[in-house]
Chain A
Amino acid sequence: MSTEAPAAPGTYDNRVAFAEELIALARVDERIVAVCNDSVGSSNLTAFRDEFPDRLINVGIAEQNMVGVGAGLANAGLIPFVCAASPFLTGRSLEQVKADVAYSQHNVILCGMSPGMAYGELGPTHHSVEDLSWLRALPGLDIAMPADRLQTRQAIRALVAEPRPTFLRIGRHKVPDVTGETTPWTRGVFPVLREGTDVTLIGTGTLVSRALAAADALALDGISARVLNASWIAPIDTAAIVAAARETSAIVVAEEANLAGGLGAAVASIVSQLEQGARPPVRLMGLTEFAPTGSTDFLLDYFGLTADEFARHAREALAHG
């Protein structure tokens, strides 16, 4: 499939780190089980199945049942990683996520594989750009978005150590490493990837590396850009957002998701509640319509989710408010 390639050297599919880490943890913790909807291959669970055939529960193409089964497994004290292509996990079984997981507080780890526009040319039916908006409305559900392979491993380790109802976006589109071994993975905290004083760039998932590239470009113009890796949308890092509003003169937020209710909306709503004088301009980058045909890279460019656009928004916000 053309969405798989060509990938730049030094970029990685987070599903690989996900599977490796899950298997490593499952070897020492029998509570770990995986549940999927015929997505053994696309969720990268083949090796898990081969090593733990009884602990891979493939319910077939039945996402509502899949999430309910996950809740039942959690009820019994197991740690279910429920894995499916993100559009179907979130869209088809949204009510199960609400009632059986979030409202019931069953410790199910919902793994939205290949989120955003990772499925490129397969089109909007297979894109998961509504997930953040839908799931943000559910109290009691954590939403985490590891930006690279290290964060993916950290997220899984943290959830096994302390299971809680969580939606994890596990990217398929290859991304470079953006965090280092010393960057902690802390619930509800955006890692600060670069300090800056003029503008704050907030990216998530695939767009974090683009925020860093934009910061490099802005530095050439003498603009100091802070870069936050929005690894969480729930709980969101209110302190980091408020600090960005008070300490820098503009905020630009980019997400591979619909702007109606996603990360940018969350940031804007926090900033809007600050006192006058502490509300810098907030520019949002994301989707507002169903995508046309195109590869993931094409679509990221099409919707302006690029380092160049990040930098342009930053310059304009600083210049014009």
Chain B
Amino acid sequence: MALLHADPDRASAYLALRSELDSGTAERRDAVLADRARETRRAIVRTIGEAGQGHIGGDLSVTDILTTLFTAVLKLDPTNPGWAGRDRFVLSKGHCAVALYSTLAHCGFFSADELPTFMKPLSALNGHPNRNKVPGVETNTGPLGHGLPVAVGAAIAARLTKSATRVFVVLGDGEMQEGSNWEAMMSAAHYGLDNLTIIVDRNRLQQGARTEDTNGLDPLDEKLEAFGLEVRMIDGHDYEALFAAFAPSTTGRPVAVIANTIKGKGVSFIEDRVEWHHKVPSAEQVEIALKELA
């Protein structure tokens, strides 16, 4: 069904790396994560520069989260993306599709040669991810507040079918203003979905302004606690903390990871600047960014 197909060399390298990291040291794992996150950030900058469109700030804030999940946590097989027993990953903040595409290509779900087609006419790589065209995408997102309910359904299904599948969903922090997320969190807690991990990319910026100047979310941790989640507040760019935060629930409750991040992380002139929500770097700025990410 998917339009794109696995890159066999990358996929086998990825699977070998996964098994190596599963039995290796934390130091080795974190070094690999740093290296792969840097590569993914470089791909993001190049892809958005080429396309002349994209959401670079949120792509760069979520990169370490995605890299940690795909490199060290999720049980996936890029050569068999529909494998029934796979873990489920949902990018609810679908506008950060380039970060997901770059991550998926890095893991061999499809060839990295596809990335330059991002947003080009008839490309599989739309501005928002499409599960029927891109292997590794579980549900089509873009309108905000959609990923978490779908993740809740997948987690309920895993429990009904006695599957070991874990479900991870990444939301933007601005997205937490959508009421559907709070409906879904109530369900997640009600059903005691300890196989579900909700990750909030807490970069504190939304499209037009800071979250706290728009429709304030703080104290987000207390709100999530009050909704019955096991809250883990971490530095969203610290690989050791990310890896630890993605460990299974210890309380029987769903886990909510508040990953404090910097929008635009890694590129000095983009970091924490609201205008870089979807501003596009010039050719010169792309070169500067790539040097910073060297």
Taking Cβ atoms with an 8 Å cutoff, the residues of A that contact B are 33, 35, 54-55, 57, 59-60, 62, 64-78, 80, 95-96, 99-100, 103-106
Hey, which chain B residues are within 8 Å of A106, CB to CB? 139
Q: Is the CB of A99 within 8 A of B161?
A: no
Measured CA separation A35–B151 after assembly (Å): 15
Given contacts A72-B153, A75-B157, A78-B161, contact A62 B140 (CB under 8 A): no
Check B140–A72 contact: CB distance below 8 A. Answer: no
7 A-B pairs in the complex with CB atoms less than 8 angstroms apart: A54-B160, A57-B156, A60-B190, A69-B187, A75-B138, A96-B180, A100-B150
Given contacts A64-B179, A64-B183, A71-B139, contact A76 B165 (CB under 8 A): yes
The answer, yes or no, to whether B149 is at the interface (CB within 8 Å) is yes
**Does B148 make an interface contact (CB < 8 A)?**
yes
Residue from A33, A62, A68, A77 within 8 A of B186 (CB atoms): A62
Query: How far apart are the CA atoms of A74 and B84 in the complex, in Å?
Result: 12
Q: Is there an interface contact between B179 and A104, defined as CB atoms closer than 8 Å? A: no
- The reply to whether A71 and B153 contact each other, CB–CB distance below 8 Å, is yes
B131 within 8 A of A: yes
Measured CA separation A189–B186 after assembly (Å):
42
In the complex the two chains form, what is the Cα distance from A59 to B189 in whole Å?
11
Do A69 and B149 form a contact, CB below 8 Å, given A76-B161, A100-B139?
yes
- Taking Cβ atoms with an 8 Å cutoff, the residues of B that contact A are 84, 88, 130-132, 138-143, 145-146, 148-158, 160-161, 163, 165, 167, 179-180, 183-184, 186-187, 190-191
A76 and B158 contacting across the interface, CB-CB below 8 Å: yes
Taking a contact as CB atoms under 8 Å apart, the answer to whether A70 and B157 are in contact is no
List A contacts of B190 (CB < 8 A). 60
A141 CB to closest chain B CB (Å) equals: 13
Are the C-beta atoms of A100 and B165 separated by less than 8 Å? no
Q: Given A76-B165, A104-B139, A68–B179 Cβ distance below 8 Å?
A: no
- The smallest C-beta distance from A103 to any residue of chain B, in angstroms, reads 5
- By beta carbon, the residue of chain B nearest A106 is B139
- Could you tell me the distance in whole angstroms from the C-beta of A55 to the nearest C-beta in chain B? 7
Q: Quick one: which of B142, B150, B158, B167 contacts A68, CB cutoff 8 A?
A: B150
Given contacts A69-B149, A99-B140, contact A64 B180 (CB under 8 A): yes
Instruction: Write out the residue numbers on chain B whose beta carbons fall within 8 Å of the beta carbon of A60.
Output: 183, 186-187, 190
A100 and B140: CB pair below 8 A?
A: yes
Q: Is the Cβ of A64 less than 8 Å from the Cβ of B139?
A: no
Cβ-defined contact, A99 with B142, below 8 A: yes
